[in-house]
């Protein structure tokens, strides 16, 4: 895959590629874990397992799709702006939802 000369010389682009490649690996690994062992996360943290493990598997699938977007960003950084924006949105709304849940007493 050809890379533009300005991007190939940019050390920041290399950092972003590495960052997105690591994010892709993490997201795909988490997805595989959540899908294969839906109760594993809850057992690890001594939490009550969800009543419907398929919901956790579905979350794993969504995280895996984020992983594919990160892999695309690592490969085609010049065309990945929509994937990067969606990933940033998801990684921003997730903690906001967690804070709201904790604040609500759950």
Q: Which residues fall within 8 angstroms of residue 42, CB to CB, at 6 or more apart?
A: 48, 49, 50
* Predicted confidence (pLDDT) per residue in 24-79, tens digit: 999 999 999 999 999 999 999 999 988 899 999 999 999 999 999 999 999 999 99
Neighbours of 42 (CB within 10 A): 15
CA atoms within 13 A on the CB side of 45: 8
The pLDDT value given to residue 90 = 86
Instruction: Categorize the per-residue pLDDT at 106 as very low, low, confident or very high, splitting at 50, 70 and 90.
Output: confident
Q: How confident is the model at residue 91 (pLDDT cuts 50, 70, 90)?
A: confident
Among 71, 81, 77, 85, residue whose Cα is nearest residue 14: 77
């Amino acid at each position: 895959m050809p890379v533009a000369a300005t991007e190939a010389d940019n050390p920041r682009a290399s950092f972003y590629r590495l960052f997105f490649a690591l994010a892709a690996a993490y997201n795909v690994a988490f997805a595989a874990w959540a899908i294969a062992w839906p109760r594993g996360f809850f057992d690890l943290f001594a939490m009550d397992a969800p009543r419907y493990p398929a919901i956790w598997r579905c979350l794993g699938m969504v995280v895996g799709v984020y992983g594919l977007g990160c892999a695309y960003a690592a490969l085609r950084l010049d065309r990945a702006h929509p994937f990067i924006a969606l990933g940033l949105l998801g990684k921003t709304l997730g903690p906001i939802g967690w804070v709201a849940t904790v604040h609500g007493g759950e």
